[in-house]
């Protein structure tokens, strides 16, 4: 992946205290893949932000504020959270019509590792705590990051008793069931888990702590099965010790996908696991030569870790296309207007300026029919609707001493026509 320079969002925000987000919407049916040896160009359209006006249609707006989260409904309503000084704002943009600016009450300054929309219009943000924001902008804390004392958080059946964890991922299925990816913050033991919320109740879905003296190396079958599970492996029987890059979730019709560090597994409806990105033979994965070009089998690939030391690598599913997308921190990239991964379709001077000032981010990969392909480089977060992919990127140019100097925008990336 030569030609891209490195500086991840999470390291950059540690240094600068914030970032500007661009969310990207991906449409379908624009063109077809000609061959794996002839990668397609990456076409994008601005739909929210990237402009130079305070009022107007979505693509004409200049949206300022530090990125806080990105979520999308199945029917392509986009929610973008940004901090303006000490005020959190939620931008809502339907596929047609003007963008709405909604001031959020009760929400502190956050940057969500994952964000999800429930069928009732509520938005959940995984930001160490789990937040819920109503369509009108009222925020409440569902799960609070607090110490446990002597309590065992894994034995909790009530959300009010759930403690000693940090929330790293969230997803909502079509029935409105909320799943959270969480990690114990007390020792012993370290580990990543998945819980299901039902009203005021909470239930463990996946993961277990390591037993006293138990190895947390890949040679331990309980650890290995958390990355490349054998047939029939129960989700509650695996140990996931890699807390630096695990915890992202994505609900699908056949279960919930779970980033377990170097791999991604699917939690089936019967409580067993299937391998998805399994790290079997990473050396067989070829270097990407452009968007959508197949580089090998997903079962051979390994999710790469960056140097930011933060969990929450994104994970999302496009149900109508049976495609899974995930972000890979192995190398950091910037959006570019030239080269094989160039962003085509950027038209106005303000749009070009925004992309030229964008900072580094992850490479998004797609898995379809078991095959792995790169899609877009230089993103901070991803989300999907029933037929589209959204990503977030961040600028790092200009005077960024306060949140109002950061800009936000939303684009559409055209996906290949599905055969």
Query: Which residue in the block uniquely carries the two structure tokens 């009760």?
Result: 106
User: Which of the residue ranges 64-73, 170-179, 267-276, 296-305 would you say has the lowest mean pLDDT?
Assistant: 64-73
At residue 404, what are phi and psi to the nearest 5 degrees?
Answer: -70, -10
Longest CA pairwise span in the chain (Å): 62
DSSP of 106-151: S--S---SEEEE-TTS-EEEEEBEEEEE-TTSBEEEEE-----TT-
Q: Over 177-195, what HEC string results?
A: CEEEEEEECCCCCCCEEEE
Mean pLDDT of 193-203: 95
| pLDDT at 73 (0 to 100) | 95
What number of residues does the chain have? Answer: 419
Rg (alpha carbons) of the chain, rounded to whole number: 20
Residue with tokens 């799943």: 179
Pairing between strand 407-417 and 22-32? parallel
Is the pLDDT reported for residue 25 higher than 80?
A: no
Examine the pLDDT at 380 and tell me if it is beyond 90: no
Helices (H) and strands (E) in the chain, counts: 3, 28
Give the mean model confidence (pLDDT) for residues 402-408: 68
User: Can you give the pLDDT at residue 38?
Assistant: 52
- Greater confidence, 188 or 25? 188
Sheet holding 139-143, edge to edge: 114-117, 123-127, 129-133, 139-143
Q: What pLDDT does residue 399 have? A: 56
Least confident range of 23-32, 198-207, 244-253, 357-366: 23-32
- How high is the mean pLDDT of the chain? 83
Confidence of residue 58 (pLDDT cuts 50, 70, 90): confident
**Given this model, what pLDDT does residue 273 score?**
98
Residues in CB range of 104: below 8 A, 6 or more apart: 81, 87, 88, 89, 90, 133, 137, 138, 139
Q: What is the pLDDT of residues 222-261, one digit of tens each?
A: 999 999 999 999 999 999 998 877 899 999 999 999 999 9
Average pLDDT, stretch 4-31?
A: 38
**pLDDT for position 400:** 55
pLDDT band at 11 (very low <50, low <70, confident <90, very high): very low
- Output the pLDDT for position 186: 65
Question: What does the pLDDT average to over 207-211?
Answer: 92
At 419 the pLDDT is 67
pLDDT interval class at 367 (50, 70, 90): very high
Q: Looking at residues 314-332, what average pLDDT do you find?
A: 88
Range from 39-48, 295-304, 344-353 that averages highest in pLDDT: 295-304
Span 294-319, average pLDDT: 80
**Lowest mean pLDDT, pick from 161-175, 226-240, 315-329, 398-412:** 398-412
Give percent of the chain with pLDDT exceeding 90: 48
Confidence of residue 282 (pLDDT cuts 50, 70, 90): very high
pLDDT in tens, 104-159: 999 978 889 999 999 999 999 999 999 999 999 999 999 998 888 777 888 889 99
Q: Is the peptide bond before 189 cis (omega within 30 degrees of 0)?
A: yes
**Residue 391: which pLDDT band, with cuts at 50, 70 and 90?**
confident
Give SS3 for 405.
helix
Task: Write phi, then psi, for 236 (nearest 5 degrees).
Answer: -80, 0
Across 47-51, 129-133, 307-311, least confident range: 307-311
As a whole number of angstroms, the distance between CA 327 and CA 321 comes to 18
- Highest-confidence segment of 41-45, 229-233, 388-392: 229-233
pLDDT at 37 over 80: no
> Coil, helix or strand for 157?
coil
Residue 335 has what pLDDT?
Answer: 79
What percent of the chain clears pLDDT 70, i.e. is strictly above it?
85
User: How far is 182 from 192, CA to CA, in rounded Å?
Assistant: 6
Q: What pLDDT was estimated at residue 360?
A: 78
Question: Is 60 exceeded by the pLDDT of residue 63?
Answer: yes
């Amino acid at each position: 992946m030569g030609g891209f320079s490195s500086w991840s969002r999470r390291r950059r925000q540690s240094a600068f205290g914030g970032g500007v987000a661009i969310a990207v919407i991906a449409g379908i049916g624009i063109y077809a893949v000609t061959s794996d040896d002839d990668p397609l160009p990456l076409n994008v359209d601005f739909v929210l932000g990237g402009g130079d006006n305070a009022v107007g249609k979505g693509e004409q707006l200049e949206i300022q504020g530090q990125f806080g989260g990105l979520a999308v409904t199945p029917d392509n309503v986009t929610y973008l959270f940004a901090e303006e000084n000490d005020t959190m704002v939620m931008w809502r943009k339907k596929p047609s019509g003007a963008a709405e600016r909604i001031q959020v009450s009760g929400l502190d300054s956050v940057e969500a590792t994952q964000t999800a929309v429930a069928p009732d219009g509520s938005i959940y943000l995984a930001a160490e705590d789990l937040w819920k924001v109503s369509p009108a902008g009222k925020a409440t804390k569902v799960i609070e990051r607090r110490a446990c004392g002597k309590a065992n958080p894994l034995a909790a059946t009530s959300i009010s008793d759930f403690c000693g964890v940090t929330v790293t991922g969230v997803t909502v299925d079509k029935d409105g069931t909320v799943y959270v990816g969480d990690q114990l913050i007390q020792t012993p033991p370290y580990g990543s888990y998945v819980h299901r919320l039902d009203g005021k109740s909470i239930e463990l879905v996946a993961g277990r702590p390591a037993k006293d003296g138990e190895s947390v190396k890949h040679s331990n079958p309980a650890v290995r099965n958390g990355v490349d599970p054998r047939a029939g492996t129960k989700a509650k029987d695996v140990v996931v010790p890699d807390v630096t890059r695990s915890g992202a979730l994505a609900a699908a019709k056949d279960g919930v996908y779970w980033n377990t560090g170097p791999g991604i597994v699917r939690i089936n409806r019967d409580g067993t696991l299937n391998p998805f990105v399994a790290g079997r033979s990473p050396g067989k994965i070829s270097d990407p030569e452009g968007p959508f070009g197949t580089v090998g089998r997903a079962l051979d690939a390994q999710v790469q870790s960056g140097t930011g030391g933060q969990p929450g690598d994104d994970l999302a599913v496009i149900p109508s296309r049976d495609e899974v997308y995930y972000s890979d921190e192995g190398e950091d990239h910037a959006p570019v207007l030239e080269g094989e991964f160039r962003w085509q379709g950027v038209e106005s001077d303000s749009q070009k300026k925004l992309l030229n000032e964008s900072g580094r981010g992850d490479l998004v990969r797609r898995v379809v029919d078991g095959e792995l392909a790169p899609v877009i480089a230089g993103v901070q977060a991803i989300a999907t609707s029933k037929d589209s992919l959204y990503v977030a990127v961040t600028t790092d140019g200009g005077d960024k001493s306060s949140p109002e100097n950061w800009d936000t925008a939303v684009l559409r990336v055209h996906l290949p026509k599905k055969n």
